[in-house]
Amino acid sequence: MPGRLSQGRRAIVVELAVNGSLAFVKLLAGLAGHSYALVADAVESFSDMISSVVVWGGLSLASKPPDADHPYGHGRAEPLAALAVAMILAGAACGIALQAIREIQTPHHSPAGFTLFVLLGVVAVKEVLYRYVSRTGSRIDSTAMLAGAWHHRGDALTSLAAAVGITIALIGGPGYASADDWAALAACLVIVVNGARFARVAINELMDTAPGRDRFGSIREAALTVDDALSVEKILVRKLGPTYYVDLHLGVNPGATVRRAHGVAHAVKDSIIRRHPEIADVLVHIEPHDPNG
């Protein structure tokens, strides 16, 4: 857990530093260059910073060990943090969309040419940040951090949309000044889609949706390497933050003593956790093996 926390903390510190710098640059460039899409992008970067803090809170809480009040640990904090990130995304999208609609209805200056180069730089930085945070999130198996990573990918896409809008406005002249604002609306659509995606992943984890089927096969193989473990009747797996919990129905010799069956169950649990250190506990239900079943 300490290694997981330190990796997550390092990634979040990098996120905060990069997003703070980008938000400041985009806000100044957007105001100076008459680009609402760039100002909207700056607001999105500020929301990224809030998301990073939420992710850090969820990661820290989820990494706390079980206690008397939380015997299964605090892993639910991670999908809750991911759900909070999705809600932040949706709120940011609504705010940006409302302001963009107002700007479309109001005559204003075309954006300055330098804002295009600012946005292209943002796209590059955000894509690099997405890859870094996504790689860290996958390494430590953090739903909240993966949601945060896609927040950065969404920011890169919104910046790209804004760049397209500014390009159209610059080429088309004053009559196309609102292209910048239409790009901001397109950015909102990207943000909403990403928010819905994060929410679905978080809700699935909160609802104990089963993980990928390949994990089940590996658990079964680990169980059947134990002597006197004759069959695996059922496997149930649920994810709680960084860890997994397994319920397994194990078939043993019907004539085995309680002591012997108990020993087999412990050996099966040890075998599974040895092969899958991300599994926190295995509850083994002993059943009489039926060779014809």
| Same domain flag for 100 and 202 | yes
The rounded distance, in Å, linking the Cα atoms of 224 and 234 is 13
Instruction: Mark which of 190, 206, 222 sits at the end of a domain.
Output: 206
The reported pLDDT for the residue numbered 108 is: 62
Average pLDDT of the chain?
Answer: 82
The rounded distance, in Å, linking the Cα atoms of 189 and 179 is 15
Q: Is residue 116 one of the residues assigned to a domain?
A: yes
Task: Give the full edge-to-edge strand order of the sheet including 231-240.
Answer: 231-240, 243-252, 279-288
The rounded distance, in Å, linking the Cα atoms of 191 and 240 is 27
pLDDT at 2 over 60: no
Here the CATH number for the domain that contains residue 149 is 1.20.1510.10
Q: Is residue 293 one of the residues assigned to a domain?
A: no
The reported pLDDT for the residue numbered 65 is: 80
Q: pTM of the predicted model, to two decimals?
A: 0.67
- Residue 270 domain boundaries: 213-288
* Cα dihedral sign, 107-113-115-116: positive
User: Both tokens of residue 11?
Assistant: 């990634």
pLDDT per position as a tens digit, 207-225 = 887 776 677 888 999 999 9
Structural domains counted in the chain = 2
The model's confidence at residue 259, banded by pLDDT at 50, 70 and 90, is very high
| Same domain flag for 46 and 189 | yes
Q: Is residue 249 one of the residues assigned to a domain?
A: yes
